Amino acid sequence: MKNKKIVILIVLALAAAAAFWYWPGAKTAAPQAAKGGREGQPPTVVNVVSPARRDVPVVLSASGTVAPVQSVALHPQTTSTIRKVHIKEGQYVKAGQLMFSLDDRSQEANVDKARAQIARERAALADLERQYQRSEELFEQKFIARSALDTLRSQVEAARAALGAGSAALAAERVAASYGTIRAPMAGRVGAIDVHPGSLVQPATLLTTVTQLDPVNVAFTLPESALADLLAAQRQGQVPVQASVGETAQPVLGKLSFIDNTVDPQAGTIRVKALFDNGEERLWPGQYATVRVTLRTLRDAVVIPQSAIITNTRGTSVYVVADGAALSKPVSRVHVAGTDAVVTGLNGNEQVITEGKQNLRPGGKVRLAQAPAPSRETP
């Protein structure tokens, strides 16, 4: 009885399979159902942006330090006392302006002594020259011997040499006396003054400093990878540089003035300086500054948000909307400027998908969530 039920079930199953196979349209029912399921899938909602065409500067940013072009620390060259201070702290001085007077009475006395010595040697030389002139006349009349005339000639030459040595000694004393007055070696601003009239000073004593504030340098470092572009930009002419101190300060415009001749092998950086006109004194030595070096400008470049770029093993690409479907287009990233990127491979009139691309496949249907927005401006 049990075996008979099993046989009946098998016969019914075979009959059902045969009916499915031979029934008209049964073969295409399942594929059509599957096809209908795919065609019925709703399109993916995406956000798009229209690429922008504009000039994009290629900029390198760095942190630097404001440094004076010239700064001189003034020290006395002799041990003496301060007689008078002619300047004030923070004062601007001109080149050659008198700043300090030292007690130079001893040096002046030495100068007077050297002058007196020269006068004595000049008188002695004049006397010997007169004697030699008379001796020549006597020698022509054969009243004296040749040896006497030669002796007087030697005395005259020795006196002339002594007079030359005295003149050199006077010049040396004048130089020593000039150390009693200290003048500004250049135009600039005076720093702190820690000496006063009557102070004993010596060569190790710092009197003050004079710092040139206009123009002024900003020193900074750039990565070694930027060296080739930096040198190429310098060969093309002046390289513009902006420097700003603080978050709200207006940038100061300058130009690249120095690229070091070696790369730091440990840090992988190159030292660079830029020169700035500083008549308004917006940059002060020792300040930290944010520096922006403009290497070149990409003219009429195609700019899109970086978020639209897809990177995979096949390279970089973007999705664009074409006839209501997503089309993959390969692009090359030329330059990155903040959240935007300059690319090649686009004409500039496409609708580039920025959001929703993670759910897309090439050829997939899309629907715009909003009207295309222009690409953002590069800061």
Whether residues 132 and 184 share a domain: the answer is no
Answer with the one of 190, 211, 232 that is the final residue of a domain: 211
Give yes or no: residues 279 and 192 share one domain.
no
**Diameter over CA atoms, the chain:** 182
24 has pLDDT over 90:
no
- What CATH number is attached to the domain comprising 370? 2.40.420.20
Span 203-216, average pLDDT? 93
If asked whether residues 203 and 246 sit together in one domain, one would say no
Same domain, 245 and 364: no
State pTM to two decimals: 0.65
Q: Please indicate, yes or no, whether residues 88 and 127 belong to a single structural domain of this protein.
A: no
Domain count along the chain: 4
* 148 shares its domain with 170: yes
* Chain segment 87-140, per-residue pLDDT in tens: 999 999 999 999 999 998 888 898 899 899 989 989 988 988 888 888 888 878
Question: What confidence score (pLDDT) does residue 77 get?
Answer: 92
- Residue 344: give the domain boundaries: 44-56+300-374
Q: Is pLDDT at 82 greater than 90 in this prediction?
A: yes
What string of DSSP letters covers 253-310? EEEEEEEEEEEETTTTEEEEEEEE--TT--S-TT-EEEEEEEEEEEEEEEEEEGGG-E
Q: How confident is the model at residue 75 (pLDDT cuts 50, 70, 90)?
A: very high
Cα–Cα distances (Å) from 9 to 15, 19, 21, 273, in that order, read 10, 15, 19, 95
